[in-house]
A and B are shown apart, each in its own frame.
Chain A
Amino acid sequence: MIEVFFQYDFLRYSLFTGLLIGLLAPLIGVFIVVRRLSLMADALSHITLTGIAFSLLLGRHINFFAGMNPVYMGMIFAVSGSVMIEKLRHTYRFYKELAIPIILSAGIGIGVVFISLADGFTTDLFSYLFGSVVAISRTDFIVVLLLTSVVAILLFLFYKELFFLSFDEEQAVISGIPRRSLHLMFIVIVAVVIGLSMQIVGILLVSALMTLPVAAAMRLAGSFKQMFLYAVIIGEVSVLSGLFTAFHMDLAPGGMIVVINVVILLFVLAFTSKK
């Protein structure tokens, strides 16, 4: 059953990419959840769709874009979206959460306009929305590998500052931690991770891979570090089993990954509520 993933190159790259995002999405997800930014991940994934639609539209008219993986344009959109969210959060200082619906709906709205302008791109779009096992090329994989390493190194380097900011922002600032620049770095990382993960999980479900493993890990963990460990284990288990079942049963992997995550979460909730 697993062997098939090593027989074909394209499946092998999907598997490796899956392993990387199963690590990365829950890692960043821990910070997203404890900083109460879960919904921001959702808004950014929707604006990624806008970028993808834009890239596909350009691809129809300009050769250069036809050969490019639309995910990169998606990431560019997500990164600019994340900066815009920050600006809006500053503008609506007393209603910070407004920034999220604004960007989310703007993203979907503009994306839908792009899609209709191009008279739809049905098959492609489906795999961007719900993920695909076969969408990963060798070049894509190398990009994923590089970006994963960069993000992992950044998270490792700034672990203590991000931890402090998440737990107690005011104290962190008093002790001299540069809040604004770290926050900006953080949301740019989130945008990049969304772009990476959506190739397997799909746009609509990418934030699930960042939050569901963490939601389960939170119930189990006795310390902040343990939360990372559990979240990554749950993330990897769900991505791997999701990919296998999706391939063998011809289902969208994003759906399977989320279903497995939900099952794990239910088990954890049932198990921990007795304590």
Chain B
Amino acid sequence: MQTNNPSHILEMDNVHFSYAHQPVLEDINMKVSPGSFLGLVGPNGSGKSTLMKLLLGLLTADRGDVKLFGEPVKSFKQWSKVGFVSQKANSFNSGFPATVFEVVSMGMYGKVGLFRFLKKHHKQKVREAIAQVGMEEYMYQNIGKLSGGQQQRVFIARALVSEPDLLILDEPTVGVDAQSVTNFYEMLKELNVHKGITLILVTHDIGAMSDYVTDVACLNKCIHFHGNKETFEANREEMMTAMYGHDVSVIEHNHAHDHHDHSHDHDDLAGTRS
């Protein structure tokens, strides 16, 4: 198949989109290479969610091309290659009586296909995915009874179970406590480095993610910056001002402590990646 070895997992070329004549995205150019971990940051209303809907094929661009695995998103069919954890995942109806196992199984459905049932080896994969996010103790627990951080892990497991090459996460840490957030990012890094899964993390929280990502894209209607993290760090102040109109001091604060502690982690990451 021609799509097996694309040079880019995701390509956006000159993409424009507007809601009722109100431009939301303008001239978006973005390339995501296999194995990278892209942090897509931008303030509220910057068009992050729209961008995501475009690349998931839920919306169609007014202009420009969106390609997944080298194939135009319109004709893209192999959705099991793409895992998606939505922001809404943690605001689902918590009264819904489903177990962790049942929820994670859903991630298999697209791959298994219509008129087919989950076989033993599929169920084994489901158990493995649950173990991968460290939730095996809760396998048969009701999802509604878990904490926000635990639920988020379950949704990651659901996205992982079809063994995607690309995992997209939309504000996955909203409503998750600080300690869990750190563990959560560690887990993502592990998936990225050891499983070779390409990650796109959409967030407004620049501080927490910048220790883990390899590339950064700053979005506010158009892409203000798109490049590796080192360049981003070097031009950080400028970027922030360009994007938010002022320096975001709260986020800067949070980040100030661990910035130094982790600085050689950054170098290591850069080494393995380029």
Q: Which A residues fall within an 8 A CB radius of B? A: 34, 157-158, 160-161, 163-164, 166-168, 170-177, 218, 221-227
Contact = CB atoms under 8 A, between A and B. Distances in A.
B96 interface: yes
- Name the residue among A172, A174, A218 with the largest chain B CB count within 10 angstroms: A174
Interface residues of B, number: 34
Given A168-B92, A174-B56, A174-B79, A163 B106 contact: yes
B172 interface: no
Contact of B115 (A157, A166, A174): A157
Contact of B86 (A171, A218, A225): A171
A223 B109 contact: no
Given A160-B118, A175-B109, A224-B102, A170 B96 contact: no
Contacts of B80: 175-176
B102 A223 contact: yes
B97 A227 contact: yes
Given A161-B109, A223-B140, A167 B92 contact: yes
Interface of A is mostly: helix
CB-CB nearest 7 A-B residue pairs: A175-B110, A223-B99, A176-B79, A221-B97, A224-B98, A164-B106, A176-B110
B96 to A, nearest CB: 6
Interface in B129-177: 140, 142, 158, 162
A222 B107 contact: no
Interface string B62-81: 00000000000000010110
Contacts of B103: 167
Contacts of A34: 96
A219 to B, nearest CB: 9
Contacts of B89: 168, 171
Contact of A175 (B79, B101, B115): B79
B109 A224 contact: no
Given A166-B96, A174-B79, A176-B77, 8 more contacts: A161-B109, A167-B103, A167-B106, A170-B58, A174-B56, A175-B162, A176-B79, A225-B102
